[in-house]
Amino acid sequence: MAKDINKDKFPEETKLKLEIFAECFREWFPVFLHNQYIKKVYIYDFFAGSGKDVEGSLGSPLILLNEAKGENRKYCNQIRKNNKRVYFAFNEKIKIKQEQLQENVKNFILTCQTANCQTNCIYSYTNFAHSEFKDFLQNENFLNILRNKDYGKFILLDQYGFSQVDKDIFLQLVNAPKTDFIFFISSSFISRFREHPATKQYLDTAKINFDEKQPKECHRLIAQYYRDIIPTEKEYYLHHFTIKKGANYWGLIFGTNHSLGMEKFLKVCWSKDKLSGESNCNINNDYEQGMLFHNTEETIKKEEISKVIRSKILKSEISDNISGLKYALKNGCSSELFTAVVKQLEKENKIARVGELNYSSSNIHKIKQYNIKIL
Ligand SMILES: C[S@@+](CC[C@H](N)C(=O)[O-])C[C@H]1O[C@@H](n2cnc3c(N)ncnc32)[C@H](O)[C@@H]1O
């Protein structure tokens, strides 16, 4: 049985995970809050724990509540003005932990209300459950919300181990409209027990080429396994973050069907890892800070993806800015990388741009398209 995460002090690696959850949600929330086509916003934490560690550090449910206020409670005021409904749903399977969570949330809200506004609070629609996560996927109420394209959904799945997000559940999340999700997974364990029927029951490990000599790679490979499940015709974005703890590798996987969702998640990842935007363990063996050739502008990942983009442009496999910008995102890099390659190729007189000329890189869904001509 997994050790209860809330009974100790959160270790550094758990704090990193929680920081990524917080920053990911901080980026996500205003986008959905301000989107006029979204009628309701749902925030689900299905493996919520009891809310705190032994020292009182906030766990994911309290982090989400805290983030939802925004700086100087700006979102509370906006929600009150726009009358937009924001629902929080916290699930924790173990009854006693769920009761502690309820108490912690109650105190958190009370403290906030006492210090600030008393009524019409952003936390008015906070619900609790203590079910098996998988039961929600049979629950018509939840499924109706999940399928509703007028509702924005943020889904946090901080499981122990790896058994809760199998292929079917993953596809259900991928196919849900206006739904972004982030899940935690114990990648080293999948690699170590890949032949075990208990593992194969959840992941088709025969499709993952684990390399004993490259243990660092295991979470990357698992993310690729999930990426390969996504139907090829579907525009979808998936990125991962490897977290090394001792000899083990864990990781996060974030999924969104909108380029903006991935732009925002990558911003968080690159702020945590300036070398590759995907790990706490220098996954590509770049020169680290303090080493002679350390240079965050020219890292192995950036150089590699720039080289591929350059080659694809010159072979006309990328022939417009939108597909180029999205290619960078899909490969875990900021879309600015594509624009830098385009500028360089223009300087070398190898390409010309035709159409709505611009060098915009962010908010891809709003950028005007231009085509690329080979000279
Ligand atoms: C990694 S902890 C979550 C910690 C929490 N996110 C935090 O920041 O404190 C996983 C939690 O999920 C609960 N859990 C385990 N299996 C579950 C299941 N099948 N459905 C719902 N909750 C489950 C555990 O009791 C545990 O509290």
Instruction: Read off the pLDDT of residues 156-212 as tens digits, 9 standing for 90 and up.
Output: 999 999 999 999 999 999 999 999 999 999 999 999 999 999 999 999 999 999 999
Angle at the Cα of 244 (from 297 to 206), degrees rounded to 5? 105
Q: What is the 246 CA–ligand 1 centroid distance (Å)?
A: 22
Question: What does the pLDDT look like over 78-104, one tens digit per residue?
Answer: 888 887 899 999 999 999 999 999 999
Q: What is the 281 CA–ligand 1 centroid distance (Å)?
A: 25
Q: Are residues 131 and 261 in the same domain?
A: yes
Q: Are residues 120 and 36 in the same domain?
A: yes
Q: Are residues 261 and 311 in the same domain?
A: no
Determine whether the shortest distance from the Cβ of 53 to ligand 1 is under 6 A: no
Determine whether the shortest distance from the Cβ of 49 to ligand 1 is under 6 A: yes
C-alpha of 263 from chain center: 10
Mutation choice for ligand 1 from 60, 137, 159, 185, CB with most ligand atoms inside 8 A: 159
Write the residue with the smallest CA distance to atom 13 of ligand 1: 47
Q: What is the 6 CA–ligand 1 centroid distance (Å)?
A: 9
Q: Are residues 267 and 314 in the same domain?
A: no
Least reliable range by pLDDT among 15-29, 285-299, 302-316: 285-299
Write the residue with the smallest CA distance to atom 17 of ligand 1: 93
- Determine the structural domain holding residue 352 and report its residue range: 300-374
Residue 17, domain member (yes or no)? yes
Q: Give the end of a domain, one of 272, 289, 313.
A: 272
Q: Are residues 226 and 348 in the same domain?
A: no
Write the residue with the smallest CA distance to atom 27 of ligand 1: 49
Q: Are residues 261 and 340 in the same domain?
A: no
Determine whether the shortest distance from the Cβ of 236 to ligand 1 is under 6 A: no
Residue 115, domain member (yes or no)? yes
Q: Are residues 348 and 248 in the same domain?
A: no
Residue 320, domain member (yes or no)? yes
Write the residue with the smallest CA distance to atom 7 of ligand 1: 59
CATH number for the domain spanning 28: value is: 3.40.50.150
* Number of compact structural domains in the chain: 2
Residue 277, domain member (yes or no)? no
Burial (Cβ within 10 Å: 0-12, 13-18, ≥19) of residue 73: middle
Distance of alpha carbon 197 from alpha carbon 321, whole angstroms? 46
Q: Are residues 236 and 338 in the same domain?
A: no
Q: Are residues 251 and 335 in the same domain?
A: no
Distance of alpha carbon 12 from alpha carbon 35, whole angstroms? 35
Model confidence band, residue 1 (pLDDT cutoffs 50, 70, 90): low
Distance of alpha carbon 234 from alpha carbon 228, whole angstroms? 11
